[in-house]
Amino acid sequence: MTNGPGLTRLLVGALALATIAGCSGKNDFEIRERYRIQGTGSVSASEDVNLADVAGDAWDHRDKINDVKVTSAVATITAVAPANTAPSGTVVAEVGRGSGAGQESAEVLNGSGAIAVGTRLEGRNLDAASGILKRAIDGDGLLSVQVDATIPEGTAADFTVEVVLQVEADWSLF
């Protein structure tokens, strides 16, 4: 039995399609930071993040990234110190990059709840944060994650909150 020109073209076409389809991908990574919130009134804490350290393959393929999406943002209270007298509070987290006139930031979560281990707040406004992460990947990879907590007057906060951003980066060689 011989292979005709039609079969050869079919095989070449299938190989070409498999090659093109195999030249794209999706890389998931997370940004995970812990903050100790200690004080009265309004308390802020910030951590610098270098995407080269946390983004793995997405950073390696950064020049081929088509889209970056923050798929979830969650803040969870992981510890409450005995000195904490605040029964509840508001936690706001934002992602930012740059400084001066080029500074940009986006709130990723904002909510109120009991200051107790396991209290969990879900994110919002993830599209704006996605754009900031895309620009960070396109640039120097540097950004910051900041947490601001506001607690009732006359009380003191002393707790640890963990903020986790789940990120998905789509890339393609073509």
If we measure between CA atoms, which residue out of 102, 111, 82, 106 comes closest to residue 94? 106
The three-state (H, E, C) secondary structure of the chain, written as one string: CCCCHHHHHHHHHHHHHHHHHCCEEEEEEEEEEEEEEEECCEEEEEEEEEHHHHCCHHHHCHHHEEEEEEEEEEEEEEEECCCCCCCEEEEEEEEEECCHHHCEEEEEEEEEEECCCCCEEECCCHHHHHHHHHHHHHCCCEEEEEEEEECCCCCCEEEEEEEEEEEEEEEECC
Domain ranges of the chain: 26-172
Query: What pLDDT, on a 0 to 100 scale, did the predictor assign at position 105?
Result: 92
Q: Say if residues 97 and 104 touch (Cβ distance below 8 Å).
A: yes
Q: What is the pTM of this model?
A: 0.83
Statement: residue 167 has pLDDT above 90: yes
Percent of all residues in the chain with a pLDDT value above 90, rounded to a whole number: 68
Task: Read off the tokens for 11.
Answer: 């095989």
Each residue of 105-160: pLDDT tens digit? 999 999 999 999 999 999 877 999 999 999 999 999 999 999 999 999 999 999 99
What is the fold, at CATH topology level, of the domain defined by 26-172? Jelly Rolls (2.60.120)
